[in-house]
Structure 1
């Protein structure tokens, strides 16, 4: 894979110019973006996958849901449905996609969960509901320039900060690094718990934030229990299992479980992987399976896995949470 990425390096300037031109057209108002008279918060990244958007959306939901009626709007990547879909009791992972389905399963009717590849149409459909949302959270829409969010949160994983990355197809960047200037907040995610203040300062200097931008650092907080459809077990007593992941980067989870001295083998699939019948049959031969909450949404429908399938929930833990929360709440209250 690394060799192929080096071979296709001549295409990097072409991709750079195309995405740069597109941004310039929007920045100068030549291409129009729709803005709204209610709070729209966008969570996204410059790179392809693996920056922790899902736990960040859940953090925002928990921050806002007690005081505001919140909606999440996602593309619904790899879903089998088309157009606008609103989560309800008949929804399945194939109609919403794994991450929106996770939101609906976790928060139920406390929020609205919608999917639409056309975010403008998605917001229009949400606005037309009898009980329309007071706040819309856009999941992975940083490059969806047709919508002008009132507040942008840009995520970048600590293991591959965008300042050191290259454009596709050699690197992982979807657009040039200066796209970060559109963000109100920049969050370096998946940081080690012992990240020093000196290291934070070094990263901030490399980012060179604008005067109106704040930089935060977040880490993953793992639950102390693993969960199945009907029970929970302490992670300390959970051992000798098969770890099944279909996420962009499982390295952080693997390291955590190894540090906890858990004994396991690891089956690593592509992000948003659609499991085949053959793969499900193979997984059914395993005694105990641990997976991510997102993958659990896809796998829990299979009866042959029902009594052996568990997931480990995660949350986002942000440094200076009182400052972070205030910036979000101030925007929404305005």
Structure 2
């Protein structure tokens, strides 16, 4: 993405001030109960951020799913960003990314046993989940990207902060990357510093603790990205990469991404290939046949005898749903699964906090304190 000139950025400051005022006023209306808030007597965990760009919400949601799914009946509820449908939808095995969005589609594919739902209006979404055929057995709901959706009050709110973009050193949009003031971090019960270096030092931790100035009820954890083994997007047609010695074979890579920040993946792949060509699309990009033609052309012109196309797990959902007919792409298109790992003792502490919350707040009745149906 092209960087803005310093002069142009300065011109954005008044707009950031006005935007910040509007957001602050909205938050005050909620703080003083002028805008109504709905709560549910079921464990609801919200995962979100206050910055634009990727902080790793989906892999953290998937971590929570893995932690809870064996002992509890859980559902995820997302907005379904850039989907072509409207209203409330519960996904099944035939639901694709155009119907529910790429991230919910990814979750449903990886965890077919859980309930995956979408609704822009989160209060309406939870109501529909509880009144659905799954409602009586539902033990917990995971809200994806709902930190700013204050009409619904979660029982546990998790705020993600990118290690490389601390909110305490950032500014309100459009001058900076913040959707709201950094002070709104105080609404979170848990703060996770995501995308941390795998060798985060005690000094690094102390710097974040000092800058964030945590409140007594808040806990801080650090997580890092962890990439899995390559998987084919079109399994039936894929070339066999089992036991490939990357260093020996020296594959050339065409990296195709439609995410907010592909740099961490690029840095990871740098260890496996000296030749990496990139095609970058905007976040949550909807691929077209013209784009497929471009990918084919770039792949044909890529240097080296051994070459493959690598994309992200989210992009793989959308590319798979296109039903690409070009054999050379179907055979050579792979994605890198993304997971998160907690640093050191943070894993056991985080796991226990989540499990204790869900266990102690197991649902005793249906709804309470519902004040609005339309928000």
TM > 0.5: yes
Which residue pairs with 1:298 in the alignment? 318
* Structure 1 pair 234–139 and aligned structure 2 pair: CA distance change class (3 A): farther
Match of 2:127 among 99, 124, 129: 124
* Structure 1 pair 217–262 and aligned structure 2 pair: CA distance change class (3 A): farther
1:245 touches 1:291 (CA, 8 Å); kept in 2?
A: yes
Q: Distance in 2 between matches of 1:172 and 1:273?
A: 20
Deviation at 1:17, TM superposition (A): 1.0
Which residue pairs with 1:156 in the alignment? 161
Deviation at 1:261, TM superposition (A): 4.0
1:227 touches 1:233 (CA, 8 Å); kept in 2?
A: no
Q: Distance in 1 between matches of 2:39 and 2:357?
A: 15
Unaligned 5+ segments in structure 1 are none
Matches within 5 A, 1:151-190: 151-190=156-195
SS of the counterpart of 2:159?
Answer: strand
Which residue pairs with 2:289 in the alignment? 277
Deviations, residues 264-306 of structure 1 (Å, cap 9, x unaligned): 2111111101112211111133252100100000112323232
Q: Distance in 2 between matches of 1:136 and 1:318?
A: 22
Match of 2:213 among 208, 212, 225: 208
* Structure 1 pair 233–250 and aligned structure 2 pair: CA distance change class (3 A): farther
Match of 2:342 among 318, 321, 333: 318
* Structure 1 pair 160–183 and aligned structure 2 pair: CA distance change class (3 A): same
* Structure 1 pair 297–167 and aligned structure 2 pair: CA distance change class (3 A): same
Q: Distance in 1 between matches of 2:84 and 2:100?
A: 8
Which residue pairs with 1:96 in the alignment? 100
Deviation at 1:262, TM superposition (A): 4.8
Which residue pairs with 1:199 in the alignment? 204
Deviation at 1:227, TM superposition (A): 3.3
Which residue pairs with 2:82 in the alignment? 78
Q: Distance in 1 between matches of 2:70 and 2:19?
A: 43
| TM-score normalised by L of structure 1 | 0.96
Matches within 5 A, 1:4-43: 4-43=8-47
Which residue pairs with 2:303 in the alignment? none
2:232 touches 2:335 (CA, 8 Å); kept in 1?
A: yes
2:253 touches 2:273 (CA, 8 Å); kept in 1?
A: no
Match of 2:266 among 254, 279, 291: 254
Which of structures 1 and 2 has the bigger CA Rg?
2
* Structure 1 pair 333–124 and aligned structure 2 pair: CA distance change class (3 A): same
* Structure 1 pair 104–74 and aligned structure 2 pair: CA distance change class (3 A): same
Deviation at 1:49, TM superposition (A): 2.4
Worse overlay, 280-289 or 225-234: 225-234
Q: Distance in 1 between matches of 2:160 and 2:317?
A: 24
Deviations, residues 23-50 of structure 1 (Å, cap 9, x unaligned): 1111121111101100010000010121
- Larger RCO of the pair (alpha carbons < 8 Å, separation 6+): 2
Q: Distance in 1 between matches of 2:58 and 2:244?
A: 22
Deviation at 1:202, TM superposition (A): 0.9
Q: Distance in 1 between matches of 2:234 and 2:319?
A: 11
Q: Distance in 2 between matches of 1:196 and 1:207?
A: 17
* Structure 1 pair 234–73 and aligned structure 2 pair: CA distance change class (3 A): farther
1:239 touches 1:264 (CA, 8 Å); kept in 2?
A: no
Deviation at 1:228, TM superposition (A): 3.6
Q: Distance in 1 between matches of 2:169 and 2:245?
A: 37
Deviation at 1:147, TM superposition (A): 0.4
1:225 touches 1:235 (CA, 8 Å); kept in 2?
A: no
| TM-score normalised by L of structure 2 | 0.86
1:226 touches 1:235 (CA, 8 Å); kept in 2?
A: no
Which residue pairs with 1:136 in the alignment? 141
